[in-house]
Every structure is written in structure tokens, then in C-alpha cells.
Structure 1
Amino acid sequence: MSIELELAALEAPIAAGFSPQSFPASARVSYDHVVLPGDFPDPTVTKIGDTYWASATSAEWGAVFPIFSSKNLLDWELVNYVFPDKLPDWAGSNFWAPEFHHENGRTYMYYTARQKGGVLSVAVASADHPAGPYTDHGPLVSQEAGSIDGFAMPDEHGNLYLIWKEDGNSCHQDTPIWAQRLNDDRTALIGEATELFGNDVRWEGPLVEGSALVHHNGYFYMFYAGNSCCGKGCNYATGVARSRALLGPWEKYDQNPILDRNLVWKCPGHGTVTQLDGRWFLLHHAYLADSHEFVGRQGLLSEFTWNDEGWPQFEHRSPQAAPLTDVARLNIADEFAGDRLGLEWQWPIGQRPGATVRAGQLRLEAGESRLGALVARRTNVATYKAATTLDFGSLPADTFAGLAAVGDPYNALALMAGNGQVQIWHVKSGKQQSLVQVFVEPAATITLRLEVWGGQRYRFAYSTDGATWQALPTENFTLNGTYLPPWDRGVRVALVAQGQEGSAATFNNFIIRNKR
């Protein structure tokens, strides 16, 4: 089926060529915006020359640590990844909280990852250009409770220090923020560590984390997050502390938190400070209240000013970004042009599938476990339709291919075609079952469609002629998808191929049409 027919079947045209990270600056009247829509937690931003660079947490999705560039803080282009292909040999999971640092013509990325079979650690990679390629230098600090959220900051004498959080909340302990000097190569810690402060104020709850520092008017200011970051019960917020010297003593603002929830945004926190034209901004994440964990923590730009006492303040102490109203701008229509998948596609960490793009088709090599092999795209809203057309008649025996809503490889809802059938697969906590099986008349291609409302109710349908849709098993049948998102990630829509090694599925396109 042509993509034009599929778009009609999804009830609206999609403007081709629109980048999910691209918004016309002329349409904006302020800088309070969603600038990284979708699941981009713990964003970092820095300015190098005349260009801003940003990245964000990848968690358990590859490629690892996206690299965005912008000239104006509003329009961002995805240009590469810190680890686009091969993961660091020592690291296995939990790729969190990247932070840029640039000096003497070299760019460093301090980041968190979990050692294979071990603890969370802060590590560093470096590159001759902020877009990469990056060389990994391994862990810098790996405390028994875990070490996360590294940030590099020069002290009042120009000596560069690593600031990080001891992950004590993972073992029911306090969470001190530490500082320790970096060597001249910026690849190891030297001297002794100094504790700066911990979680000792009620609003901070079990932790303080996500430090980001800036020097202003003779003070070091540390923006930091407190309380619970993620999921349905999150109560994250942002505070600030200051000190004349990097190693303290530190004074927390008595009006903390300075950035908290409102009716539109929940759990704002873990951001990095930047400037533009003399104005100050925090690039941070927050959940949109009406999509929350199903989309994930989105990247917001929130402007702040300095009050008469020298403390930063945000308007109404909460994010002022308006939710995206023209969600059609974030629609996706991929016809697999060119010779490779676009940078926006993702896969589970350590499970990059064989994927070949040629002549307007994606050939996805199958995997044998659970869902099989998959490539996925972030969602931007919690209500949408998605569709794909795949070559049905040429699928090998015992190979299934389809379209899935994926929280992670252990939690998914999928519409799969194969062996002359269409099936709904339910995967929860790693246990897979086929809920529905329907035999289909032979056809060269089949189009699969999923619809979701509010991230919770799912419905599936298929078509072999592009005009007649068959719902499974009835028009009113919906499935509950509230279990899909992990505590720290949003739902993706994926193309899936499951079967024996050596088998593959061929997809002709991929479409997401968003609704509010």
C-alpha cells in the first residue's frame, strides 16, 4: 500500500520532512518552551563558540547519549551520539545524566553508567569536536552505594573539580554531594574528596542529586534536584544552594524549592544552566500532566532571573512552558529513503539488530527471544495512531513481524503477522502470550495499525487492501497498557521481527499520527 493511502487511513495527511526537534523560532514569543519533546530526561546544555550543544539520559535505549546542536536554544538538530555503535567495554546499563565540559579545544562528556555486574559509576569520554567521535576513558568514581550525576566545575583558583552524588538512597542511606579535583588530563580524580552537603531539608525527601553549577556575582550556585524523580508517584523539584568557595560552606536557599509542579507540568528537575542575550535559562526535564509517564520526562527551557538577594527565581516557581498544541508537527512518516535508518531510531541497549535500508524498504533481521528484534521511535503524546505496511507473502515460515508499543523488551503490546495469521501479543514482566489469533487470506502486503488513548487503552486493526480494516477481535475491544512504561522511561512504538536466526522481515514504511 502507498504511504498516501495509509495516511488517509489514519485520517489526516502528514507534512513530510518535519523534524521532531524542529520548530520555527518566529512562532515563539518567549523562551519558555518544550525544546526536546519526548523522553529526554536529565538534559545538559553548553555553549561552544556560537553553537549550543545538548544531550540527555539514554537509560536502556541505544544509541547512547544523543547529541543535539542549536544556534538559538529553541531549534535543535540531532547530529550524533556519544556512543553510536559500541558501548564502553566496562559498562552494561543505566546510561544516565550526561554533562558536557569544554576546555582548550576539547569536549568532555561526564556520564553515569553501571559497571557490568557492579555499581553505578561516574565516567568520562572526550572528543576533539562536541559532535564526536568520542573516546571513552572509563570510570572516575565508583562508591559502594553507587556514584551518579557527575558535573565538572572549576573552583575559584581555576582548578577543575568533579561534583557528583553518592547514591545512598539506593540502600536507604543519605545522599551527600561530593567534590574532588580532576587531574590535568581530566580522566582521573586526585587528592581527597570533600562533602559539600546532603539531603537535610524536608522537601528534599530521600535524596539530593543532579547538580549543575554556575558562577555568578562572586558566588557558586548549585542547582540541584530533590525527592522522587520518576513514575506515577514522583514529587521531584529543584532547589539551589550557594557558596563563595567551591568546597563550601554551602548555604541552601530558604525559599526552596525554586521550581516545582503546577497544573501543566509535574516533577521538574535535573537541569543545566545556560545564557542567551543576557538572559538566564535552565534546561531541565518534567512530565506533562496529561501524558505523564507514558511519554516520559521531556526537555523544557525555563527562564529565570536574579532577585534582590542574589538568588535565582522562576516565574510562579514552576515551568511556564505551554504544552504543544500543534502536535501534528511531531507526526512521523518514514518511507526508509536513503541507505540507513535515521538517527531518531532506537533499540534496546546491547541488542542492536541487523537493519538494512534499501530501495525504500527496511529489512529487519529477526531475533528469537520474546518480541524478537526491534527498532523503535519515541512517542511525543499519549494519544496517537501508528501504522506500518510489511511484506506479508514473503515472510519466512515461523517468522512474525509487526508493530508494538514497547516500554522495554519485557513489557509490550504488539500486533504481529506471520504463518498466515495476525496475532495480538501481550508481554508483561517477560512473560509472553498470544491473546488473539486470526487467519488472513493470502496477500503480498499487510498494513498493521495500533491506536492508543491516554497511554492506557490500546486497539489494533489490520488491512490487506488499504481500504477495509479488520479490528481485533471486535471494534470495541481494547487492551489496558498502563503496565508498559518502566519507572524512568516513556513508551516507544517499534517495528518488530521475531523468528529463527537468519530470517528477516521487510517493512515499507512507518507512520505515527498524534492527537491531543
Structure 2
Amino acid sequence: MRTYDNPVIAGFHPDPSVCRVGDDYYLVCSSFEYVPGVPIFHSRDLVHWRQIGNVLDRPSQLDLPPEAPASGGIYAPTIRHHDGRFYLITTNVSSRGNFVVTAERPEGPWSDPIWLDIPGVDPDLAWDDDGSCWCVSSGNQVTRIDPGEGTVLEGPYPIWSGTGGKYPEAPHLYQVDGWWYLLMSEGGTERGHAVSIARARSPRGPFEPGPVNPFLTHRGTNRPIQSTGHADLVQAADGTWWMVLLGTRPRGYTPEFQVLGRETFLVPVRWEDGWPVAGPVEERHPAPAAWHPLPEPPSRDDFHGDTPAPYWISPRSRPDGSWSLDGGRLTLHATGPTLDEPGHTFIGRRQQHHDCRVTTRLDPGAGRAGLSVRAGLSVRLDETHHYHLEVHEGTARVIARIGPLRQCVAEHPVPPGPITLGIDIRSRRGQGRGPDVIAFSAAGLPLAELDGRYLSTEVATGFTGRVIGMYVTKGSASFDWFDYEPR
């Protein structure tokens, strides 16, 4: 029997939403304070996904203020396809709230925001048989709207808000066999996360809860996948049903630490007596009937394109003057003096494996008209939780920022000119309380090993996961390539 492995999209890819158009599936995730915003993926089988772009890829769509906090920005998008057009609805919690963007093709271009005057976050879109569009959000209300104009036509009406668990969120409406089903998560997005269901004959309600709620949760278990919730249902072309949802893979000594962020998982769904049944979420499940494997993405980026690949992200903004691509080199120009505050130049990618190695070739511009450059590699959760390896004036330094503390933990002289920097992340075996070890090297010379628990959600708090990338905080520096190797 063919099987697939969970997660289907590893690393910091939370709050998944999915829609099917013919034999094609499209999935989006939350991006929070990172730009470009809302990564969008394509699949032919719900298992193998390829990122085809980002929905919010220009400042007119996503303009985050410099003071936008870590884990602010874009929350919980929903993607739908109706009457030949793609719709995405989401919330910018650091700006004007809820909005809709549309596109003829999932790759874009997507429209500028159509703002909605509705409360709550995690908005969803569903269309009735007569073409009416209903929006339900985590404020526990449903509203009839015109998504093309952003106008409220009816409501809001209060709706079912779960079984009493905290933070009822991620509501989705589906019309199935004459019923309107309201899928909702509750219990908080941490270890208590759970998925519950209710149904009604009208999107206005009243909703009756399902016979077993929550119908999927891993709380109180020792399963390796935890925090299961924030789900979205989809029917495959062969009539089977599936659910994408977020989860985490915590490791280390109690309370355990999750460092990759909330990831996207897939679980089969069956219907019994008019209600969906799903779970538990296993590390391996029988695969969908359709099977379209994709080639493994290259681990190395040689920067030969005109624009960065879609998986490269930056916190809050990426001004045109802060980067350039030319002749197979990515050149970064400093826009701020420190990684400890917003406004710096950083381009990174999500850490997607517990064990991996990252290397890059940095040209710090030594000896060029006396320029002084400070640049290197960083593993970050936010401005107050990151480790970085920097080269500055002939010295390589490893610096740890943990909350209010900032310390140089190692330094060593390095020769002028281009230099290879490396970060090895490996799961901790045997003794030790943290989930992993993060080791730094410059020109092949080991410099320091740091405990990975301090770059975890349990320490730093927030909704994101680790992002590893290149930065410049003084002058300009070029990077010949960047290699991310799973181990």
C-alpha cells in the first residue's frame, strides 16, 4: 500500500487552507510579519506540494509598519474558487483588519486589498446556491457580503462558538448534502488545540453541535504530533474527503520545545451518519488515490534569477534598495544597524528539518576602498531571540540574543576576502534538555555550539518558527550561493 509522510509541508507553514479546482489543489498559509506574504502551493494529490508564489507580493497589498510586532501581520488566510475566480480572505492585524484579494490564476497577479468592515480574525468565504457570499469569522458571527465591493449586505448574526474551549477560531463553512457545516478549532493553538463541528440548514444557523466534539485532538496524548487544529476540509476528485490542519513536532526534555513552527499536516476524513470523522494524525497514512510526485527542490540557490525565489522571506519589508541580483550573486545593502531591532536587511528561508546544514559563501568586501562591512548568517525567531554568525573587520563572531541578554560567545580572526559560513543543526541525542544543538563554523573552523531551546516557541512565544538566512547590518556584502541540506 502506498503511504505518505506527515507533515506534507514542513516548517513554519501554519493555518493551512485548501481548495480544489478540477484535479488541482491550491493551499495557502499564514505568514505573519514576513514579506512577501501568504505563500501559495500547488499539488495534484494533496501530498506533494510546490510553492508557486506568494499572494501578497507588493507593498500595495501588504504594507507592514516598522512597529508591527513579531507574530503580527497576516493571520489565517482562506482560499476559495468561485465562478471562475480565486478569492483569498485574510486579516492584517497590524493594519486595517480583514480584506479580500482576487485573481484569475493562482500564480497571480492578485488584486489590491478590498477591505471589509467586519470584526474578528480568521475569516472564511462560502457561497450559497443563489450566489450569496457568506463570511464567518472568529468573532463568532456570520455576515453576508459582496466580496467584490467589500460591502456588508446582511448581519452579522451570532453563531455557534464551540464546546467551551478557549479561543474558538478558524471557522469554515461548507454546504454538503443540504446541510451547512461549521468547522471550528478551539482550545488554543498550543497543546490543547482541537477541531469541532456543528451543522445547520442555513448559514444563519441555528447550529447543532456534532455528536462527538472535538472530533480530532491530540491533547493529553504522547503522540509525536501535537497542537493539532486550525483545519480545512476538501473533497478530492474521486469523492474522498481530506483535511489539512496545523500541528507541531515538539522535542527535548519536558515541557518539550517546538522549533520549526506550526506545520501543515494531512489526514483522511470519512463521513458517518452525516458527520465527518477524522484522526488521529499519524506520521504515515495511506495515500490518496491520485499520486503525482514532484522532483525534489534544489538545495542550493546560486542566485541566477532576476528576483529571489518565492521561499525567500524578510521581516516586515524588503525595500528595492536593500538587495540586488546580478551575475549569480545576491548583494545585500544595510538598512539598519542591528538584528535586535526592526528595519534591518535580512533574507531567509524557513527551517524545515530538525537536522540540517546551511552554508553560504560570503564576500564581505574586505579591502574595497576601506569599506567596513558587517554581514553573515542568522537563525531567528524574532528580534529578541536569534543566533547569528557575523564577519566584521577580519573577525568572525557568534552572537546570541536571548530576551534582554546579548552576548558574543565566540570569535576568531579570519582571512580577508570571500569566506564560507556554516550552520549545522542536529537533534540532541541522549543527555541534554534542549531539542537540538546549533553549531557555527567559518572557513571550516568550528566556532561555537548553542542550545536550540532558546530559539523555540516555548521560550520566545509567538506564532512563527525558525527562519535561517543572510543579513547585512553595515555596508554591503555579496553572497555567491546559499545551500540548505536536510540531514
TM-score by length of 2: 0.85
| Alpha-carbon distance, 1:52 to partner | 1.5
Name the aligned partner's letter for residue 280 of structure 2: S
Residue 304 of structure 1 corresponds to: 269
- Look up the match of 1:12: none
Per the alignment, residue 194 of structure 1 pairs with 157
Residue of structure 1 in register with 2:302 after alignment:
335
State how far apart, in whole Å, the 1-side matches of 2:5 and 2:353 are: 19
Q: Of the candidates 241, 246, 249, which is equivalent to residue 285 of structure 1?
A: 246
How does 1:23-422 map onto structure 2 within 5 Å? 29-30=2-3, 33-88=6-61, 92=65, 93-116=72-95, 121-143=97-119, 147-155=120-128, 157-166=130-139, 177-183=140-146, 185=148, 187-199=150-162, 201-202=163-164, 204=165, 206-230=166-190, 234-261=191-218, 263-276=223-236, 277-290=238-251, 293-307=258-272, 309-314=273-278, 317-322=279-284, 332-352=299-319, 354-371=322-339, 372-392=344-364, 394=366, 397-422=371-396
Partner AA of 1:313 in structure 2: V
Gaps of 5+ in 1: 1-27, 167-176, 464-468
SS in 2 for 1:34: coil
1:304 and 1:313 in contact (8 A); partners too: yes
1: distance between equivalents of 2:98 and 2:157? 16
Q: 1:355 to 1:299 in 2, by over 3 A?
A: same
Instruction: Return closer, same or farther for 1:386/1:409 CA change in 2, 3 Å cut-off.
Output: same
CA positional deviation for 1:513: 2.4
Cα distance in 2, alignment partners of residues 213 and 245 from structure 1: 11
Distance 2:62 2:330 in 1: 29
Partner Cα distance (2:212, 2:142) in 1: 25
RMSD of the alignment, in Å?
2.6
Indicate the residue corresponding to 2:439 in structure 1: 459
> Following the alignment from structure 2 to structure 1, what is the Cα–Cα distance between the partners of residues 62 and 89?
16
Amino acid paired to 1:136: D
Q: Aligned partners of 2:318 and 2:453: how far apart in 1? A: 24
Question: What residue identity is the alignment partner of 1:29?
Answer: R
- Asked if 1 retains the 8 angstrom alpha-carbon contact of 2:100 and 2:147, the reply is no
Assess if the C-alpha contact under 8 Å between 1:31 and 1:301 holds in 2: no
Alpha-carbon deviation of 1:352?
A: 4.5
1:439 counterpart (413, 420, 429): 413
State whether residues 361 and 419 of structure 2, in contact with CA within 8 Å, keep that contact through their aligned partners in structure 1.
Answer: yes
C-alpha contact (below 8 Å) 2:60/2:112 kept by paired residues: no
Q: Deviation at 1:105?
A: 2.3
Structure 2 distance, partners of 1:211, 1:482, is: 33
In structure 1, the residue matched to 2:291 is: none
Deviation at 1:342, TM superposition (A): 1.2
Cα gap change, 1:160 to 1:390, in 2 (>3 Å): same
How far apart are residue 89 of structure 1 and its match?
A: 6.7
Q: Could you tell me how far apart the structure 1 residues matched to 2:108 and 2:192 are?
A: 35
CA distance in 2, matches of 1:460, 1:184: 49
What's the CA shift for 1:158?
4.2
- Distance, in Å, in 2 between the alignment partners of 1:447 and 1:106 is 47
SS of 1:148's partner is coil
Bigger Cα displacement from structure 2, 128-137 vs 82-91: 82-91
> Do 2:138 and 2:169's aligned partners in 1 also have CA atoms closer than 8 Å?
yes
Contact 1:366 1:373 in 2 (8 A): yes
Q: Is the 8 A contact 1:88 1:138 kept in 2?
A: no
* 2:304/2:328 contact within 8 Å kept: yes
Kept in 1, the 8 Å contact 2:124–2:136? The answer is yes
Query: 2: CA distance between counterparts of 1:329 and 1:79?
Result: 14
Structure 1 residues 331, 382: CA separation in 2 closer, same or farther (over 3 Å shift)?
farther
Q: Give me the whole-angstrom Cα distance separating, in 1, the residues matched to 2:319 and 2:245.
A: 29
User: What amino acid maps onto 2:180 in structure 1?
Assistant: F
Query: Cα distance 1:369–1:428, how it changes in 2: closer, same or farther (>3 A)?
Result: farther
Is residue 508 from structure 1 mapped to residue 480 from structure 2 by the alignment? yes
Counterpart of 1:357, as a letter, is L
Aligned length: 447
Percent identity of equivalent pairs:
22
SS in structure 1 of the partner of residue 116 of structure 2 = strand
Q: 3-state DSSP class of the match of 1:482?
A: helix
Q: How many Å apart are 1:156 and its aligned residue?
A: 6.0
Question: Structure 2: how far apart are the matches of 1:338 and 1:115?
Answer: 32
Q: Is the 8 A contact 2:33 2:64 kept in 1?
A: no
Superposed CA offset, 1:378-420 (max 9, x none): 1112232221111145376432111111112332100111201
Change in Cα spacing, 1:452 to 1:352, as seen in structure 2 (3 Å) is farther
Residue type at the aligned position of 1:365: H
1-structure distance, mates of 2:33, 2:124? 21
After TM superposition, give the deviation of residue 247 of structure 1 in Å. 1.2
The 1:30/1:471 distance shift into structure 2, 3 A limit, reads closer
- Which residues of structure 2 form unaligned runs of 5+? 66-71, 286-294, 428-434
Provide the residue aligned with 2:446 in structure 1: 471
Instruction: Measure the CA separation in 2 of the matches of 1:91 and 1:139.
Output: 15
Is the 1:370–1:409 contact (alpha carbons within 8 Å) kept by the matching residues of 2? Answer: no
Counterpart Cα distance in 2 of 1:480 and 1:48: 41
Structure 2 CA distance for partners of 1:484 and 1:106, relative to 1, 3 Å:
same
SS at match of 1:318: coil
Quote the Cα distance in structure 2 between the aligned partners of 1:432 and 1:91: 27
One-letter amino acid of the counterpart of residue 360, structure 1: G
